[in-house]
Structure 1
Amino acid sequence: MTQITGNAIIVRTLFNNRYTVQYYQREYNWERKQIEELMEDLTSEFLEFYQQGDSQRDVMRYGSYFLGPIILTNDNAIIDGQQRLSSLTLLLIYLNNLQKNSPFSKINIDNLIYSEMYGQKTFCINVEERESCLAGLFDNGRYDVTNETSESVINLYNRYKDIEELFPNEIKEEALPVFIEWVIDNLVFIEIKTTSEQDAHRIFVTMNDRGLRLTPTEMLKGYLLSEISDNTVRNKANDLWKERVLTLKEIEKDGDSDFIKNWLRAQYADSIREGKKDSENKDFEIIGTTFHKWVREKKSVIKLDKSSDFERFILNDFKTFSDIYIRLKQYSGSFNKEYEYVYHNADRGFTLQYQIILASIDKDDTADIITKKIKLVSCFIDQFIAIRVFNFRTVDYSSIRYTVFNLTKRIRRKSIDELVTIFKDYISGMEQSLNGIDGFYLNQFTRRYMLHILSRMTYYVEQNCGINSSFTTYVNRQQKNPYDIEHIWADDYTQGNHQSEFQTEEEFQSFRNRFGGLLILPKDKNRSYQDMEYIKKVTKYDSENLLARTLNDNCYSNNPLFLRFMKDKNLPFKPYADFNKADLNERQELYKEICKNIWNVDLFEEIAHS
């Protein structure tokens, strides 16, 4: 007899079991966007309840967060829910790693992540090909995916790195044990269990296929079209809407709704929820969840009154801004020198750039003005990110949402000249500057950005010296032999003069990670050189990229384009037969000067008047 049960279940209980995934649905395919949404939902919901000084016991009075239904067979085969369970496994692993070095109380969640028998770890979702990756992430947050062929494993690793980057600093310290307690006791699923796999699939089909399930995009379209009185115009608007939505969905799964959220926030959102407990959602948040309702309620703000207004809204505004958004997504995914800053911002995972760029556009701007605004605003965003990163400031959503919202309103529909003035004033008024490079070094936070920065510098130097350089080659981690960060000093305190220059090995290791002591090299070279002393390394560098070659004396002979570039830009390049502490500091100063050329506010004027 068929038996179906449904129960509310918390993470603490759910993850005490081990689950299998059928062979035909084994791929874990969440992208960064889904992780970003999950992290934002969970952390913002938690911060609605958390107050400084709260303890784990206070979680009992916190609200719960519903993560939807999961469908299982009685023998724990997952029919629906593996994407969410896999993602929460990654979150639990990250939280466990985070609390290893925390001075605050620790919560034992090992049993929710894995069970162990005969020295073998079995994780919550028991798929053999994932075990090595999850074990590496659990042990030290690392796993080498260079030669990995499994789509699921590569995605698991990348989504873990996304969690590392996106997790807000405000929860990493005193609030951490409280957050962990909330995750395991207040995140709720509905567990639906059946006696057979066939019944489980029937339930899945019933839940997903029965009835008319309109998306917010479809409901918004229905409302807008219903207000157009002319049948011919309505049909024309409907055809345009369908064509654009199809294109947006081809770009990414939820591309249509992502575009509409960015567009409405960029052009119309006038308020945002305060960062206080029990604060009400405002324009910014409502657009993010039910934008179809928001447009109805705010139609006077958007100037939607008569039929012609609704016609204009689809046939002009929707068309113009979807055109721009599609262009931006193309520039984000494929390097185009003319729009390189859009690509650079996307490479660092800064998805908020679409909203900021769209905010600057006026629907009546000419094609030339729109192009200049894309270049100008993306250039500003590139500099904003760089300055924050060089000063160890995060650019994750939760940390800068108010900054981005206020910036969006400040540049909304401004002219080119106004934007130049705003951006120059903004950069000069930031608490931080590129002088933060003096103390910049490689650590867990900057590792996410360091390859990008060193690749930008290498590409900049080579490009200005007439070398056919490729930034995308330097940052592409999926190629067969990707580039890695190279330490100029080998990881050996006993080499050279290190023991006379540093009192302890710890001091040496810290100094070795400084910005001026880093390069990029192909992974195979990086590994073969890692134990080599500098005097031998520097001869090898002479056959590598130009930034590495500048350490070798040969670079300064018979190289007129480089020498001219060095002179024109007044950059203090010099070769080093040896490379001691003072030399590394000199190199750090050189890097700062290179960066000041790459991230230079004078570029705003150049773009505006090009």
Structure 2
Amino acid sequence: MSKDNHKIDADDRTIFDVLNERKYTVDYFQREYSWEQKHIEQLVTDLTSSFLDAYSPGDSRPSVEHYNNYYLGPFVVSSKGGMKSIIDGQQRLTSLTLFLIYLNNLQKELGGNESIEPLVFSEKYGKKSFNIQVEERKECLEKLFLDGCYEVKPGDDESTVNMVRRYADIGEAFPEDIKGNSFPYFLDWLKYNVILVEITAYSDDNAYTIFESMNDRGLNLTSTEMLKGYILSRFDEAKDREKANRFWRDSIQSLHLHSKDEDQRFFQAWLRSQYADTIRQGKAGSSNEDFEKIGTRFHSWFRDNLAKISVDANSPEDFRTLLHTELKFYLRAYLEILEGQRTEKAGWENVFYHSQWGIADSLSFPLMMAPLKSTDNPDVTRQKINEVASFLETFAVRRSINFRKFGASSVRYTMYSLVKEIRGKTLNSLRSILTAKLAEMPETWEGMGEFHLHGMNRAFVKFLLSRITGFIEQQSGGATNFSTYFLNNGKKPFEVEHIWADKFAEHRDEFEQRHEFESYRDRIGDLVLLPQGTNQSYGSMPYSDKVEHYLKENLLVKSLHPKAYKNNPNFLKMNERLGLEFRPHKSFNKSDIDERQELIQSICEVIWSREPIP
């Protein structure tokens, strides 16, 4: 290997330097894009909060040059023959590309003409291509770039599905207060003040060595490590420090079993849930407050706010109580929430449902932990967490059927105010507050009357149908549940399918225009869940033939056929007990869709009622 092959360069680069008309390939071993909602939401929140902390209305655009810089971390590339291959950092760079596509589409809506496109795609040798080149993602990125949406198709890989979901999450997380006069300032700041370190190796072997070193060893002290150092320094006795150190080490290890950044998310959730009093006002030029400071540098906030935490800086006893009583209790609760999110299990169902469709973790975890007190027994702790999770799921579902956003930027003030309102409340008080909050919501179940499938809500429609289908099965004594229909679990996944075949000609007696037919066909009353491939075999059949096949499917589908009501006592008892109005449909016309739409609304009202299910 030549001397040049051993060469390594490390340079700080702005986002403009990194992405503007530059081409990268992505190695096969890290092709999958796997960021979750919490990761993209954290990225957007950190970037926008850092910008808003520096921006003041009335600033000139050139003054952005003197705003604070934001360090986004390192990425590693292997450079060979003039082409750079991303070895480490493609998750972050792919997320930035999605963010830039969103910003480019947003500026079209706002009437802007800033230069963003060269950061996303550029021309080389007369051919335009995306700057981060992965062939499998090309179609999805093109649709997002041109139309702002992409409808996931059967056969799309997990990276594509994930990119579509993360793109939607960006729209939910991006704050309204940067959509006005400050928008071009934000673009300038993002392009020229956000810094990455580009580490370039000139052989694959060297690049992989750097990649392994960066992932095996921490490069900088994290907020968690700095908080640990401060807390341990408060103990005078060596035995106290050693005990605290052991507890801290074991605690962090238990969090890292879930993810390498879980420790930081835990401290953010704990401190916000129990001690944060303020949040940045929703207008440009406002300063970051407790909520934002905990989200970025919680170790500094902790040290500066000991009075809020009821800790005396010179009292080892206070720190013993904080560590071995308070932190220990909230850590256990946090870990139980994480476990509850993993699988659908008795007593924790609401946590699981909400994790599949609900508000961002940065808000939901502080909310679920807010009413807890370290004196609560395990059962009360579980009930409080599930009460909040049930409220949050109901909130998200009702917003969704009314086509309202519930991303962090849309509901942060509402949810943060609620954190303070339910903090430390008893179980009965908590239930009363949450019931009242739902009663005050302007988004009611009446929105179900117009609810339909569209290009960007297929994931929610599948969630909704999975909850309804699983609920009916469970209430009728069936063995399947929500997870059966929503998750793949190594089997054929269930897919959202239309009862009506896509044949406008067969419905001309009820619709004059094709778009009217298509609009009705996408209503929730015409949609069911069927195993992948099932509907393809008889999807184009007339309803009278298709309904015969429905007898083999789940009860929500089977209920269309008259035979579902014979020799099926559990289903009939469930129907009567819950006051539902299931009935068979010998034909399926426009009025039948209306009727099924009303049925689904009534099922939703039972599922998400605050009253116990009879």
| TM-score of the superposed pair, with normalisation by structure 1 | 0.87
CA contact (8 A) 2:182 2:284 kept: no
Instruction: Tell me which residue corresponds to 1:345.
Output: 354
Match for residue 132 of structure 2 among 107, 121, 125: 125
CA distance in 2, matches of 1:59, 1:536: 66
How much has 1:336 moved relative to structure 2? 0.6
- Comparing 179-188 with 472-481, greater Cα deviation is found at 179-188
How much has 1:528 moved relative to structure 2? 2.8
SS of equivalent residue, structure 2 residue 424: coil
CA contact (8 A) 2:550 2:561 kept: yes
Instruction: Tell me which residue corresponds to 1:535.
Output: 544
What does 1:77-226 correspond to in 2, within 5 Å?
77-94=85-102, 102=109, 104=111, 112-114=119-121, 122-128=129-135, 130-131=137-138, 134=141, 141-142=149-150, 154-168=158-172, 178=184, 182=188, 185-186=191-192, 188-190=194-196, 192=198, 196-197=202-203, 213-226=220-233
Match for residue 524 of structure 2 among 515, 520, 523: 515
SS of equivalent residue, structure 2 residue 581: coil
How much has 1:262 moved relative to structure 2? 0.3
SS of equivalent residue, structure 1 residue 519: strand
How much has 1:435 moved relative to structure 2? 2.0
CA distance in 1, matches of 2:251, 2:405: 34
Unaligned runs of 5+ residues in structure 2 are none
Match for residue 424 of structure 1 among 414, 435, 440: 435
Q: Deviations over 1:152-210 (max 9, x none)?
A: x6235313312213413766988898599558744644564758348878988999999
Instruction: Tell me which residue corresponds to 1:460.
Output: 471
CA distance in 1, matches of 2:8, 2:581: 76
**1:83/1:570 Cα in 2 relative to 1: closer, same or farther (>3 Å)?**
closer
Match for residue 237 of structure 2 among 227, 230, 241: 230
CA distance in 2, matches of 1:448, 1:603: 28
**1:323/1:202 Cα in 2 relative to 1: closer, same or farther (>3 Å)?**
closer
- Comparing 230-239 with 547-556, greater Cα deviation is found at 230-239
CA distance in 2, matches of 1:543, 1:208: 50
**1:187/1:392 Cα in 2 relative to 1: closer, same or farther (>3 Å)?**
farther
Give the residue type in structure 2 aligned to 1:586: E
How much has 1:121 moved relative to structure 2? 6.7
CA distance in 2, matches of 1:317, 1:484: 45
CA distance in 2, matches of 1:69, 1:214: 15
SS of equivalent residue, structure 2 residue 379: helix
CA contact (8 A) 2:37 2:169 kept: no
How much has 1:363 moved relative to structure 2? 1.0
What does 1:272-283 correspond to in 2, within 5 Å?
272-283=279-290
Instruction: Tell me which residue corresponds to 1:259.
Output: 266
SS of equivalent residue, structure 2 residue 508: helix
SS of equivalent residue, structure 1 residue 484: strand
Instruction: Tell me which residue corresponds to 1:381.
Output: 392
How much has 1:486 moved relative to structure 2? 1.4
| Residue 372 (structure 1) aligned with residue 369 (structure 2) | no
CA distance in 1, matches of 2:211, 2:571: 64
CA contact (8 A) 1:457 1:594 kept: yes
**1:525/1:121 Cα in 2 relative to 1: closer, same or farther (>3 Å)?**
farther
Give the residue type in structure 1 aligned to 2:171: F
CA distance in 1, matches of 2:39, 2:378: 33
SS of equivalent residue, structure 2 residue 529: strand
Unaligned runs of 5+ residues in structure 1 are none
**1:536/1:117 Cα in 2 relative to 1: closer, same or farther (>3 Å)?**
farther
CA contact (8 A) 2:114 2:184 kept: no
Q: Deviations over 1:279-315 (max 9, x none)?
A: 1111111111111111111112111121111001111
CA contact (8 A) 1:116 1:122 kept: yes
- Comparing 579-588 with 118-127, greater Cα deviation is found at 118-127
| Residue 571 (structure 1) aligned with residue 580 (structure 2) | yes
CA contact (8 A) 1:90 1:160 kept: no
**1:201/1:473 Cα in 2 relative to 1: closer, same or farther (>3 Å)?**
closer
SS of equivalent residue, structure 1 residue 164: helix
CA distance in 2, matches of 1:415, 1:395: 27
CA distance in 1, matches of 2:25, 2:45: 28
**1:5/1:415 Cα in 2 relative to 1: closer, same or farther (>3 Å)?**
closer
CA distance in 1, matches of 2:586, 2:218: 74
- Comparing 475-484 with 357-366, greater Cα deviation is found at 475-484
| Residue 594 (structure 1) aligned with residue 599 (structure 2) | no
CA contact (8 A) 1:115 1:122 kept: yes
- Percent of aligned positions with the same letter in both sequences? 38
CA contact (8 A) 2:498 2:526 kept: yes
How much has 1:439 moved relative to structure 2? 2.0
CA contact (8 A) 2:21 2:123 kept: no
How much has 1:42 moved relative to structure 2? 3.6
Give the residue type in structure 1 aligned to 2:594: N
CA distance in 2, matches of 1:194, 1:58: 36
CA distance in 2, matches of 1:596, 1:228: 54
Q: Deviations over 1:409-435 (max 9, x none)?
A: 000000111112111211111222222
- Comparing 525-534 with 3-12, greater Cα deviation is found at 3-12
RMSD over aligned Cα atoms? 3.6
CA contact (8 A) 2:151 2:456 kept: no
How much has 1:79 moved relative to structure 2? 4.9
Match for residue 19 of structure 2 among 9, 14, 21: 14
Instruction: Tell me which residue corresponds to 1:30.
Output: 35
CA contact (8 A) 2:76 2:88 kept: yes
CA distance in 1, matches of 2:128, 2:492: 30
Aligned length: 595
SS of equivalent residue, structure 1 residue 321: helix
Match for residue 420 of structure 2 among 409, 415, 418: 409
How much has 1:24 moved relative to structure 2? 5.8
CA distance in 1, matches of 2:305, 2:383: 31
